[in-house]
Amino acid sequence: MTGTRHERPGRAAEAERLRRLFRFFGATQGAGRSPVYETLSEGVAGDDGLLALLLDTPEEQRRPSLLFAAVNLLLASRRDSELAAYYPIHGGRRAVDDHLVPTFSAFCDRHHDELARLLARRSTQTNEIRRCVALRLGVEHVHRHWPGPVAFVELGASAGLNLLFDHYDYRLDGEATTGTGASPVVVSCEVRGSSGAGLLGTPPRITRRLGIDRHPIDLSDLDARAWLEAFIWPEQTGELATLRGAIDLAASTSAASVVTGDATTDTARILGELPGREPVVVFTASLLSYLTTQARAAFVAQLHEAARLRPVAWVFAEAPGLLATTALDVAALRGPLARRNSLYLVGASLRGADHHHDRLLGLADPYLRWFAPARDPADDFRWVPAD
Ligand SMILES: C[S@@+](CC[C@H](N)C(=O)[O-])C[C@H]1O[C@@H](n2cnc3c(N)ncnc32)[C@H](O)[C@@H]1O
């Protein structure tokens, strides 16, 4: 893309910020995972025309994941385009080479108006099914303390694909670990620092399951499904198959639903309205980063209020620095662990009317590609090297 526009001072500074943002994204997210996005991130950072496209969109929409998803969405219906040849998820087989960035740039130029519309209106919408590994580990921990059935609520549930976590098969370190072996969804995860044997047992009976999201994804809407798929990265053919399997499974059952609600204001009310007296497992994965400090405090207050009526276990997969602001009673979060925000902590907070018992269960890659189980209750994970 070769747009040359006279940059106003504020615009030039914002362009610089975007260059840094894309380079950071390429180095921290793309490197080692997606040669296509790693190369394109660098390419966008060095292309004034592509930066101009982003500068013309609302500020909060200027995100690498959003630009890449918008392009990916268009490619899904243009599988014979030159750019799609670089995307294995669209049947492409071409390795990254010097033509990738100019091809991407030309594609964006050609579809400028469509991209501008998508970038202006759409929000980041992902549902990372591998995070069910964190959920399974958390539920396992809850089950050891509170045997018996539980109700299950996910806050920030997106399309609600994690709600059927106990319908999936799990494969830890390549070994089939649990499940029927017949599920259309197989969740895989590498285990670091120990073996995966015995980590996942049989999940408890789930009495009811409910998702809450500010902007739930309606899986009966084909457009919404396509947008969810657009967040799958070019090389992630396995992830795309898993996502489609989970979507089909979710669409085939009425056991789980996602309602519109805000975790910071509606949690206590919605949990209070659930029938029964069994404990409720509340799962959050990648929710806290959407909340301001104040909103995080409001969310914790909601959990506290809900736990006055029935036991509530908060199972989380979240960034350490954000968890450190939620008054969890975990000594390790007062040390250097709280600065390892490129990783996620998996843990559980078991809450009653006037107490909570908090425990970190492991450290993981944010997408749960790998998981390092805690070696003891006070583990601060210094032994887990940076990726
Ligand atoms: C990154 S997605 C994670 C989805 C899912 N938990 C997963 O791990 O696959 C975060 C979700 O949180 C939702 N969200 C953000 N703020 C929220 C809030 N205050 N209350 C409820 N949902 C919220 C977003 O709409 C989005 O669907």
**Is 273 a residue whose pLDDT tops 80?**
yes
Task: Determine whether the shortest distance from the Cβ of 312 to ligand 1 is under 6 A.
Answer: no
From the number of C-beta atoms within 10 Å of its C-beta (0-12, 13-18, 19+), residue 173 rates as middle
pLDDT, residue 95, reads: 97
Mean pLDDT on 56-85: 95
**Is 167 a residue whose pLDDT tops 50?**
yes
Instruction: Tell me the one-letter amino acid at 45.
Output: A
Pairing state of beta strands 206-213 and 312-318?
Answer: unpaired
Task: Write out the two tokens for 175.
Answer: 């070994």
pLDDT, residue 33, reads: 87
The CATH-assigned architecture of domain 129-373 is: 3-Layer(aba) Sandwich (3.40)
Mean pLDDT on 71-80: 97
Task: Determine whether the shortest distance from the Cβ of 155 to ligand 1 is under 6 A.
Answer: yes
Q: How far is the CA of 261 from the centre of ligand 1 (A)?
A: 10
**In ligand 1, which atom is closest to the CA atom of 125?**
27
Residue that wins the pLDDT comparison between 178 and 149: 149
Q: Smallest Cα–Cα separation from 339: which of 317, 360, 322? A: 322
**Is 181 a residue whose pLDDT tops 90?**
no
How many residues are given for the chain? 387
Instruction: Supply the DSSP string of 8-24, one letter for each residue.
Output: -HHHHHHHHHHHHHHHH
Mean pLDDT on 268-284: 97
Query: How do residues 4-20 score in pLDDT, each as one tens digit?
Result: 444 555 888 999 999 99
**Is 3 a residue whose pLDDT tops 50?**
no
The mean pLDDT value of the chain amounts to 93
Domain residues of the chain, as ranges?
9-121, 129-373
**Is 204 a residue whose pLDDT tops 50?**
yes
Task: Write out the two tokens for 307.
Answer: 């736990």
pTM over 0.85: yes
Pocket test for ligand 1, best of 162, 213, 243 (most atoms within 8 A of CB): 213
Backbone dihedral angles phi then psi of residue 192, each to the nearest 5 degrees: -110, 140
pLDDT, residue 4, reads: 46
Mean pLDDT on 305-317: 97
Three-state secondary structure string covering 37-100: HHHHHHHHHCCHHHHHHHHCCCHHHCCHHHHHHHHHHHHHCCCCCCHHHHCHHHCCCCCCCCCH
Provide the pLDDT confidence category of residue 1 given band limits of 50, 70 and 90: low
pLDDT, residue 254, reads: 83
Residue that wins the pLDDT comparison between 214 and 253: 214
Query: How do residues 108-140 score in pLDDT, each as one tens digit?
Result: 999 999 999 999 999 888 899 999 999 999 999
Residue 340 to residue 319: CA distance in whole angstroms = 8
CA dihedral of 44, 122, 370, 320, whole degrees rounded to 10: 100
**Is 313 a residue whose pLDDT tops 70?**
yes
| Residue nearest atom 27 of ligand 1, based on CA coordinates | 158
pLDDT > 90: what percent of the chain? 83
pLDDT, residue 197, reads: 84
